[in-house]
Amino acid sequence: MSIKSRKVAIIGTGLVGSSCAYALVNQGICEEIIMIDINKDRAKSEALDLMHSVEYMSLRTKIRVGSYEDCNDVDAVVITAGPPPQPGQTRLDTLEVSVKICNSIVEPVMKSGFNGFFILASNPVDVISYHVLKLSGLPKNKVIGTGTALDTARLKSIISEKLGGIDTKSIQAFAMGEHGDSQMVPWSCVTVAGESFLKLVSNYNKIEEDNLDDIVKETAKAGWEIINGKGSTYYGIGATVVGVLKAIFHDEKKVIPVSALLEGEYEQNDVYMGVPSILGKNGIEKIIELDMKEKEKYEFNNSANILKEYIAKLGY
């Protein structure tokens, strides 16, 4: 009987990439991690630091520094490399620089013979995911952006706080659309332990239907609050990436709102957006289409139009 070790390459070993690697090691998701960065000293230092933690983890994960050529037989390549937004910028404003970085990565990775999953965390993640799909030539189920998965975790945390601390795992809610300012929440589909959220809020003085737009804005701005306080977000996105990889490696059939290519779903085409998707051993196995109200459809379509505008800037 042959046993195949699971291997993950992380490209970009800054705060986000190293947090992804630590979450992988901590949760014992794979047997080998390859750290790749243009700054080889940084990659080596992060690899060493991670290696020294393995003694006290549940799995003896092998961690090493590598190059794009080493991606030939990995199961997944995680791309976290990219510029952080400068003061006054949105994630979309970083597109030009992010595309250049992406171009320098994807071509040599594909040249290595790579045929696994791309997991994209670089912003603007929806547009970058579309670009990687076109650059790589891989099927759409294998090119996955983190999308609104982290936004959804933030949304559920906010809802939980406003409902007196209800466990976030008892809340069914999704942030959808752009991982950015135009994201939306289909409130008509939100439930708490099976009960309609819109019916439930009438019992809580802290929430009124008129305040729902404020919750969406608070969710979209949550990352900026963290950035303003400590310069970057990395634990949340690191855990999000590992959640996606875990769903694939363990064939969990878990629903996560990742950035996926729409081809008729939600009446949208040729655009990557954050939508609830079933993740399993084949990557994105199915996109879940929620039955949204007209106002929610309008908000979702508005987000799609913004993303299409930026995709068009790349010549597609």
250 — pLDDT class (breaks 50, 70, 90): very high
Please check whether residue 274 is in contact with residue 257, taking contact to mean a CB–CB distance below 8 angstroms.
Answer: yes
Report in angstroms the alpha-carbon separations of 62 from 85, 212, 240, 303.
33, 46, 21, 41
In the chain, where the domains are located: 7-145, 149-312
Contacts of 216 (CB under 8 A, 6+ apart): 155, 175, 183, 184, 185
- Gap between the Cα atoms of 167 and 224, Å rounded: 24
* Res 206 pLDDT > 90: no
* Res 198 pLDDT > 60: yes
* Res 1 pLDDT > 60: no
211 — pLDDT class (breaks 50, 70, 90): confident
Please check whether residue 126 is in contact with residue 259, taking contact to mean a CB–CB distance below 8 angstroms.
Answer: yes
The per-residue pLDDT for 210 is 62
Tell me whether the CATH fold assigned to 7-145 matches the one assigned to 149-312. Answer: no
Distance between alpha carbon 24 and the CA centroid of its chain, in Å? Answer: 15
* Res 306 pLDDT > 70: yes
- DSSP β-bridge partners for residue 274: 177, 259
* Res 209 pLDDT > 70: no
The per-residue pLDDT for 204 is 64
Higher pLDDT: 83 or 142? It is 142
Computed over every residue of the chain, the mean pLDDT equals 94
289: left (phi over 0), alpha (psi -120 to 50) or beta: beta
* Res 203 pLDDT > 90: no
Tokens 């969710």 identify what position?
A: 219
* Res 208 pLDDT > 70: no
The per-residue pLDDT for 126 is 97
Percentage above 90 pLDDT, the chain: 85
* Res 170 pLDDT > 80: yes
Catalytic residue among 52, 131, 179, 250: 179
The per-residue pLDDT for 172 is 98
* Across 35-58, average pLDDT: 97
Using one digit for the tens of pLDDT, what is the confidence trace for 86-144? 767 778 888 899 999 999 999 999 999 999 999 999 999 999 999 999 999 999 999 99
Show the tokens assigned to 265.
Answer: 């779903």
DSSP, collapsed to helix, strand or coil, labels residue 192 as strand
Task: Provide the annotated binding site for NAD(+).
Answer: 12-17, 37, 42, 68, 104, 121-123, 146
The per-residue pLDDT for 201 is 80
* Res 237 pLDDT > 90: yes
* Across 302-316, average pLDDT: 96
Task: Provide the annotated binding site for substrate.
Answer: 91, 123-126, 151-154, 233
- The architecture that CATH gives domain 149-312 is Alpha-Beta Complex (3.90)
Alpha helices (H) along 13-124? 15-27, 40-51, 95-111
Regarding the domain with residue range 7-145, which homologous superfamily does it belong to in the CATH classification? NAD(P)-binding Rossmann-like Domain (3.40.50.720)
The whole-model pTM stands at 0.96
Residue 71 DSSP code: G
- Gap between the Cα atoms of 283 and 144, Å rounded: 8
Q: Is 179 an active-site residue?
A: yes
Show the tokens assigned to 229.
Answer: 């306080």
Contacts of 251 (CB under 8 A, 6+ apart): 280, 281
Comparing CA positions, the residue from 24, 12, 25 lying closest to residue 60 is 25
70 — pLDDT class (breaks 50, 70, 90): very high
Show the tokens assigned to 255.
Answer: 């629903």
